[in-house]
Amino acid sequence: MVSVALVVKLVAKPGVEGELAGFLEGALELANAEEGTPVWMALRSDPATFWIVDAFPGADERQAHLDGEI
């Protein structure tokens, strides 16, 4: 069960939209490796706007994610 989540909006500067998309694609493997991160999604709502949505069982797991490699 999850009890805490993050929703993060990222807006790429002009010309680096592809770089940000690539970063997020690479982050998926890292997020999947985190035991305390059962939900991690990256979404794109327009050419420059991206969202990260992730959820955690508790505050400790969320903090471990924030302190992690991504």
**What stretch of H or E contains 46?**
strand 39-46
- Give the residue among 39, 59, 45 at the shortest CA–CA distance from 9: 45
pLDDT tens digits for 44-66? 999 999 999 999 999 999 999 99
The pLDDT, as a whole number, for residue 30 is: 95
Mean pLDDT of the chain: 96
The pLDDT, as a whole number, for residue 25 is: 96
Task: Enter the pTM of the model.
Answer: 0.90
The pLDDT, as a whole number, for residue 21 is: 98
